């Protein structure tokens, strides 16, 4: 059998899928040779659909096999009516073993969609939810780890022990720090552009707006007379620096008030200042299994989990070695 015999792979995958999900045989498998490398096979699996144009948006998982490097990679898992996430990972491992592949590579960008009591949809980072409540991600539980896994686990377990009130202060510090970093990167780009002549139309319009601010504030028309300090202050105005910084601070104050002034049993009733951040997220995970939450609670948790991206240590490029 040739390694390029796609009909063999198609039949083989179908058998694996049927054996893994005997109650549902209504699925599609798309198998193609990679256009740039004949040693690579691209596979896409999802529920059967009559409208093939919509198939891309409704697949269950998508991955590539590199026959030379003996690996599954470019793996993308989605919410799926055919298989659970655990079933998909088990399938990938069965595929790897069947074709004598040595490893599976996955990038963890996992999130879930949660509907509030008022039918508003919230995207919640699964990886941060798991790490804050368990110390490791969902993929980590199944043996998918990065090169820095032990270091990450030790650091994140210390973070989990922080009292919620301390964690909220930490979030504010980190968000302000990241804001300053983004601003400085952007300012340095603008500073470099002020000395260039070959700007794009968009860059030219931006420089024109900043020059207008400088002219109104400092009455300077000549670019050569614009010092770094003047450009810095003008760009802060253009960037809406103060407004954005205040918004970061006020958002944190808003959610800090949720902790301090809990008046409703429906609003974060499980939160107290003495609770660890891990206790809060564990309680949240239990609640979303049984009930819909109000928007205030979901906004609060989403703020914590989104901000945790800048706090937790986690390399989402994961590998599982197949024995």
Question: What tens digit of pLDDT does each residue of 104-154 get?
Answer: 999 998 888 999 999 999 999 999 999 999 999 999 999 999 999 999 999
Q: What pLDDT was estimated at residue 106?
A: 95
Same domain, 58 and 156: no
Question: Looking at beta carbons, which pairs linking 219-224 to residues 24 or more positions away fall under 8 Å?
Answer: 223/194
Contact of 290 with 81, CB cutoff 8 Å = no
Same domain, 157 and 252: yes
* pLDDT, tens digit (0-9, with 9 covering 90-100), for 230-251: 999 999 999 999 999 999 999 9
* Domain termination residue (choose one: 68, 90, 107): 107
Place of tokens 């470019």: 74
| Domain, as residue range, for 310 | 132-174+243-315
Q: For the chain, which residues score pLDDT lower than 50?
A: 1-3, 50-51, 263-267
CB atoms within 10 A of CB 296: 16
Q: What pLDDT was estimated at residue 33?
A: 82
Closest CA to 248 of 166, 170, 176: 176
**Eight-class DSSP state of 252:** H
Same domain, 89 and 15: yes
Q: Is residue 170 part of a domain?
A: yes
* Domain termination residue (choose one: 63, 90, 107): 107
Closest CA to 77 of 119, 141, 126, 6: 126
Q: What pLDDT was estimated at residue 7?
A: 72
**How many domains, the chain?**
2
Same domain, 92 and 141: no
Q: What pLDDT was estimated at residue 204?
A: 93
The set of residues, in sequence order, having a beta carbon less than 8 Å from that of 196 and lying 6+ positions away, is none
Q: What pLDDT was estimated at residue 96?
A: 92
Task: Tell me what the pLDDT averaged over the chain comes to.
Answer: 86
């Amino acid at each position: 059998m040739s390694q390029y015999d796609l009909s063999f792979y198609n039949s083989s995958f179908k058998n694996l899928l049927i054996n893994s999900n005997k109650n549902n045989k209504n699925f599609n498998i798309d198998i193609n040779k990679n256009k740039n490398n004949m040693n690579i096979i691209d596979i896409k699996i999802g529920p059967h659909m009559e409208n093939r144009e919509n198939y891309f948006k409704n697949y269950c998982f998508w991955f590539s096999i590199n026959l030379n490097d003996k690996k599954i990679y470019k793996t993308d898992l989605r919410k799926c009516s055919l298989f659970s996430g655990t079933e998909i990972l088990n399938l990938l491992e069965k595929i790897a073993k069947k074709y004598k592949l040595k490893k599976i590579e996955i990038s963890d960008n996992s999130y879930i969609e949660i509907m509030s009591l008022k039918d508003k949809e919230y995207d919640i980072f699964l990886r941060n939810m798991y790490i804050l409540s368990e110390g490791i991600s969902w993929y980590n539980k199944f043996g998918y780890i990065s090169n820095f896994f032990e270091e990450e686990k030790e650091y994140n377990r210390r973070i989990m022990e922080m009292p919620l009130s301390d964690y909220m202060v930490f979030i504010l510090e980190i968000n302000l720090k990241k804001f300053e970093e983004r601003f400085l990167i952007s300012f340095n780009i603008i500073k470099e552009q002020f000395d260039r002549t070959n700007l794009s139309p968009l860059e030219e319009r931006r420089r024109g707006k900043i020059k207008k601010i400088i002219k109104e504030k400092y009455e300077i028309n000549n670019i050569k007379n614009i010092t770094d300090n003047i450009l810095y202050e003008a760009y802060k105005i253009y960037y809406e620096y103060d407004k954005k910084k205040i918004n970061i601070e006020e958002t944190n104050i808003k959610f800090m008030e949720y902790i301090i002034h809990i008046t409703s049993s429906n609003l974060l009733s499980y939160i107290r200042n003495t609770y660890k951040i891990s206790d809060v997220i564990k309680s949240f995970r239990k609640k979303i299994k049984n009930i819909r939450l109000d928007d205030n609670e979901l906004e609060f948790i989403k703020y914590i989990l989104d901000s945790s991206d800048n706090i937790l240590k986690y390399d989402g490029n994961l590998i599982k070695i197949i024995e």
